Amino acid sequence: MNDKIIREVYQVLEERRDYPTDSYTSSLMRDDYKKAEDKILEKIGEEAAEVIIASKNDENLVHEATDLIFHTLILLTYKGVELEEIFDEFERRRHG
């Protein structure tokens, strides 16, 4: 796998942020700034707990981890972080 699917997902999230639809992701980002951010952070907290439970129970870990990553990408998109910033940070850590 390469970064193609992450780029595609990120692009869709940016589109949903900039051109809201009736989608789930748009609904998370639709409210005023503080309220939307709080909703997204709450979802990340829920998903993080589900990852912990899935790991302890040895079931659905990949599914739950993907949910956590997805909601983290929503937050980063909402906050205006460019995808390249994330890739650059991984690169810096790998070679730093």
**pLDDT tens digits for the chain (96 residues)?**
589 999 999 999 999 999 999 999 999 999 888 899 999 999 999 999 999 999 999 999 999 999 999 999 999 999 999 999 999 999 999 997
The pLDDT score that the predictor gives to residue 85 is 98
Q: What pTM value is reported for the model?
A: 0.93
What the chain holds in terms of domains, given with CATH numbers, is 4-82 (1.10.287.1080)
The pLDDT score that the predictor gives to residue 20 is 94
Terminal C-alpha separation, the chain: 24
In the chain, at which residue ranges do the beta strands (DSSP E only) sit? none
The pLDDT score that the predictor gives to residue 69 is 98
The pLDDT score that the predictor gives to residue 1 is 59
The pLDDT score that the predictor gives to residue 79 is 97
Residue 56: burial class (beta carbons within 10 Å; 0-12, 13-18, 19+): exposed
Q: Are 46 and 72 in contact (CB under 8 A)?
A: no
